[in-house]
Amino acid sequence: MRDILIATANKGKAAEISEIFKNSDFHPYFLFEYPELLSIVIRENAKDFEGNALIKALLIGQASGLLTLADDSGLCVDFLNGAPGVLSARYSAERTDEANNKKLLTALAGVPLTERNCHYHCSVAIFNPVDNFIETTTGLWPGKVALESRGNKSFGYAPVFLAENFNYEKTNAELDPDELININHRGLAFRAALEILKNKY
pLDDT tens per residue, range 134-173: 999 999 999 999 999 999 998 899 999 999 999 999 999 9
Listed residue (25, 22, 7) closest to 125, CA to CA: 7
Parallel, antiparallel or unpaired: strands 117-128 and 68-77: antiparallel
88 Cβ neighbours under 8 A, 6+ residues apart = 73, 74, 75, 100, 156, 157
Q: What is residue 69's predicted lDDT score, i.e. its pLDDT?
A: 98
| Catalytic site includes residue 48 | no
What's the first-to-final CA gap in the chain, in angstroms? 11
Q: What is residue 53's predicted lDDT score, i.e. its pLDDT?
A: 97
Burial of residue 167 (number of CB atoms within 10 Å: 0-12, 13-18, 19+): exposed
Parallel, antiparallel or unpaired: strands 68-77 and 2-6: parallel
Catalytic annotation, pick one of 25, 72, 78, 178: 72
pLDDT along the chain (201 residues), means of 10: 94 89 95 91 91 97 97 97 96 96 98 97 98 97 97 93 93 89 92 96 92
Q: What is residue 193's predicted lDDT score, i.e. its pLDDT?
A: 97
Q: What is residue 10's predicted lDDT score, i.e. its pLDDT?
A: 87
Give the 3-state secondary structure of residue 132. Answer: coil
Which 8-state DSSP code applies to residue 72? E
